[in-house]
Amino acid sequence: MTLIVFGVYALGLGLFMLFAPGPFFETIGTFGVRNDHYIFDNASFEIPQGLLLLAAVRRVSWRVPALAFATLHWALHSLSHIVDPHHGAGDLIGWIEAGSLVFTTVILAIALRASLSDERR
């Protein structure tokens, strides 16, 4: 289930960035000055990550590597938001986003650990 939820989320987020960079920036990505090139660069990461996680639903041997990759990505993304929580909608929103990212990183880490245990059996 974790693979599906995070896969759909990453794919949807990437497509949102790709096809609607303005609304993405105004709602979610309000950090600094809007830069469509940078938003597209991020979309080019989120879309393949989402596809990888969704592919790992069927390809069991991909689960551990996909979850490890996603967990590392979310951990680094969390760190980024902890270091710079200054969201355009206010620091409180920035800290809420940072906390949400840490929470979701923990979910991914738990799923990774479960997948590692399953793989060892």
3-state secondary structure of 36: helix
Structure letter (DSSP) for residue 62: G
**What pLDDT is stored for residue 104 in this prediction?**
95
Q: What is the pTM of this model?
A: 0.90
The pLDDT tens digits of the residues spanning 68-90 come to 999 999 999 999 999 998 888 88
Residues 6+ apart with CB under 8 A from 100: none
Contact of 45 with 74, CB cutoff 8 Å:
no
**What pLDDT is stored for residue 73 in this prediction?**
96
Residue 121 has pLDDT above 90, yes or no: no
Domain ranges within the chain, ordered by starting residue: 2-120
CA atoms within 13 A on the CB side of 47: 12
Residues 6+ apart with CB under 8 A from 102: 78, 82
The pLDDT tens digits of the residues spanning 45-60 come to 999 999 999 999 999 9
The token pair at 58 is: 């069927």
